């Protein structure tokens, strides 16, 4: 899930060392609007990475582990890209632009967290809490046994589905896991109809899981992408479904912890440094021109920006050629989040998954938002709405009231609580849309120029737009770059092993 607030981009450049990055967590306005260029005695960087989001950071960390240090250029005043935070002046708290979570099957993201030491700042949910009819909570947790038997009891306990629904669901999951060839133009909605899935099962299960995981509506989700979610997330390994939830703001994770780790190893991070265009001569990149007119040169370059920004860095004569012509066809999907602060707690659960209505997930964020050990003066909750085109087209006040009404139907205490503050944030290009045929539009990490790599979740990673996909792209870009230097290393981490029973039942 990814969404972000608006941020003013500045063109000045500065090298921020550890102390400066730490001071950046105070307020956004204390950052200088313009800064001097690097000192003349600084070494020429061997690798330049444009973009300090998760893909760029993963590439930098992977390279550092192999003894290659890069300079990371980020146009904003902080790192993390779409996985970042902003400082809310009303509540004086750091607020994540959207609730970002990972799953147990995200082996590369977990590896990235372990390397940089931020893995301790995630909590693994051993149970999901589904909200059914009339507000009943249905716990979803694994039982004993290998995959896929580990979730049989969990599915059986979803009381808002009838036994007929559950039987149809089992047939559908089995058919999806066994399928090997796909109609490139078929949507998941069409596939479910052909599998004769009941409307209730589609609305209360398939829609709930897939829209949350892929941030798209069923009529715009490709069947292979949906299969990826269920096979890798539910059927291969007994721990794959577990959700990893950050316990601190993303600013602390990526803006402080990861940056400290990287700077301590000799890497450079230049915030408020906006790259403008790649200089290309003789079939290779010769430099990066910044918006202030200066040029940075290196041996290798990594372009780790969102797909819709890639072409702006490329000379105009290349934009109608592959892979840039394909990138122009990639569509996007919005994600919205509604942030609510109350004068009292409204729910005892750490999170809940709604099976109907506008609300999809609600997270209790009080502990993560507060840096103080004192009792909280407010209780903070974050509501996530993926594929939020309806939200974009509707007035904020109406959306907020609808969210409050849906929450109150489950936790009536909200009606007695005082709403102290609220904020609605929408990222209109939160993720690329996993529409049918999307994979043929996604480029590999190696660009048409031998010393330029692409890094971003939109590249060919085998994954949809997730933190796992972003890290994978960074690792793959780093592998290509190191191979050019004669270092043949495999940075990409293996998937969780498939259980013997799933292999036998589904052939996965």
Q: Where are the alpha helices (DSSP H) in 179-318?
A: 188-194, 199-201, 207-214, 223-230, 250, 259-264, 307-310
pLDDT given at position 68: 95
Q: CA geometry: angle at 108 spanning 313 and 370, to 5°?
A: 85
- Mean pLDDT along residues 277-301: 95
Q: What would the pLDDT profile of 384-428 be if each residue is shown by its tens digit?
A: 999 999 999 999 999 999 999 999 999 999 999 999 999 999 989
Q: How many CB atoms are closer than 10 A to CB 230?
A: 20
Which two structure tokens, joined as six digits, stand for 303?
């372009």
What CATH number was assigned to the domain covering residues 332-432?
Answer: 3.90.660.10
Place of tokens 């992408």: 225
pLDDT band at 238 (very low <50, low <70, confident <90, very high): very high
- Mean pLDDT along residues 119-128: 95
pLDDT given at position 162: 95
Can you tell me the distance from the alpha carbon of 200 to that of 112, in angstroms, rounded to the nearest whole number? Answer: 39
Instruction: Show Cβ contacts of residue 162 under 8 Å, excluding neighbours closer than 6 positions.
Output: 200
Mean pLDDT over all residues of the chain?
Answer: 90
Which percentage of the chain shows pLDDT scores above 70?
Answer: 89
Q: Is the CB of residue 288 less than 8 Å from the CB of residue 92?
A: no
pLDDT given at position 98: 83
Domain spans of the chain, in order of start: 18-85+249-330+436-484, 140-241, 332-432
Q: What would the pLDDT profile of 50-102 be if each residue is shown by its tens digit?
A: 999 999 999 999 999 999 999 999 999 999 999 989 999 998 889 998 889 99
- Mean pLDDT along residues 244-260: 95
What CATH number was assigned to the domain covering residues 18-85+249-330+436-484?
Answer: 3.50.50.60
Q: What would the pLDDT profile of 456-505 be if each residue is shown by its tens digit?
A: 999 999 999 999 999 999 999 999 999 999 999 999 999 999 999 999 99
pLDDT given at position 377: 84
Q: What would the pLDDT profile of 18-61 be if each residue is shown by its tens digit?
A: 333 433 333 333 333 333 344 445 544 599 999 999 999 999 99
Q: Is the CB of residue 134 less than 8 Å from the CB of residue 420?
A: no
Task: With H, G, I as helix, E, B as strand and everything else as coil, classify residue 396.
Answer: helix
pLDDT given at position 368: 65
What architecture is domain 140-241?
A: Orthogonal Bundle (1.10)
pLDDT given at position 283: 87
């Amino acid at each position: 899930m990814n969404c972000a607030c608006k941020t003013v981009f500045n063109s000045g450049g500065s090298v921020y060392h550890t102390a400066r990055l730490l001071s950046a967590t105070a307020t956004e306005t204390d950052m200088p609007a313009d800064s001097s260029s690097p000192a003349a005695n600084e070494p020429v960087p061997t690798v330049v990475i444009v973009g300090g989001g998760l893909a760029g950071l993963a590439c930098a960390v992977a390279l550092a582990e192999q003894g290659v240090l890069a300079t990371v250029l980020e146009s904003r005043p902080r790192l993390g890209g779409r996985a970042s935070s902003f400082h809310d002046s009303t509540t004086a708290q750091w607020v994540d632009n959207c609730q970002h979570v990972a799953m147990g099957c995200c082996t590369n993201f977990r590896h990235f967290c372990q390397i940089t030491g931020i893995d301790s700042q995630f909590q693994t949910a051993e149970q999901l809490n589904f909200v059914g009819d009339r507000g009943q909570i249905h716990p979803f947790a694994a039982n004993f046994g290998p995959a896929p038997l580990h979730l049989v009891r969990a599915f059986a306990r979803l009381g808002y589905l009838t036994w007929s629904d559950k039987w149809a669901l089992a047939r559908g999951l089995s058919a999806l896991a066994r399928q090997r060839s796909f109609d490139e133009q078929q949507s998941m909605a069409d596939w479910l109809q052909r599998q004769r899935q009941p409307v209730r099962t589609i609305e209360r299960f398939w829609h709930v899981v897939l829209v949350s995981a892929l941030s798209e509506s069923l009529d715009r989700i490709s069947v292979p992408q949906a299969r990826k979610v269920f096979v890798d997330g539910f059927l291969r390994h007994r721990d794959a479904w577990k959700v990893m939830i950050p316990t601190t703001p993303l600013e602390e994770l990526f803006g402080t912890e990861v940056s400290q780790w990287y700077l301590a190893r000799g890497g450079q991070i230049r915030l408020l440094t906006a790259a403008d265009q790649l200089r290309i001569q003789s079939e290779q990149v010769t430099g990066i021109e910044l918006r202030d007119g200066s040029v940075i040169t290196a041996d290798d370059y990594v372009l780790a920006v969102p797909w819709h920004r890639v072409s702006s860095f490329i000379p105009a004569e290349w934009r109608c050629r592959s892979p840039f012509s394909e990138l122009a066809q990639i569509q996007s999907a919005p994600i919205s989040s509604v942030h609510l602060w109350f004068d009292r707690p409204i729910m005892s659960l750490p999170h809940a998954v709604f099976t109907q209505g506008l609300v999809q997930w609600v997270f209790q964020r009080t502990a993560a938002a507060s840096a103080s050990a004192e009792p909280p003066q407010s209780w903070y909750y974050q509501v996530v709405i993926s594929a939020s085109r309806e939200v974009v087209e509707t007035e904020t006040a109406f959306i907020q009231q609808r969210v409050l009404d849906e929450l109150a139907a489950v936790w009536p205490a909200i009606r007695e609580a005082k709403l102290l503050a609220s904020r609605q944030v929408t990222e209109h290009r939160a993720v690329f849309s996993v529409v049918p045929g999307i994979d043929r539009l996604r480029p590999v990490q190696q660009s048409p120029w031998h010393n330029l790599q692409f890094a971003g979740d939109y590249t060919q990673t085998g994954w949809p737009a997730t933190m796992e996909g972003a890290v994978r792209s960074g690792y793959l870009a780093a592998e290509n770059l190191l191979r050019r230097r004669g270092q043949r290393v495999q940075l990409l981490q293996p998937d969780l092993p498939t259980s013997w029973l799933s292999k036998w039942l589904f052939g996965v």
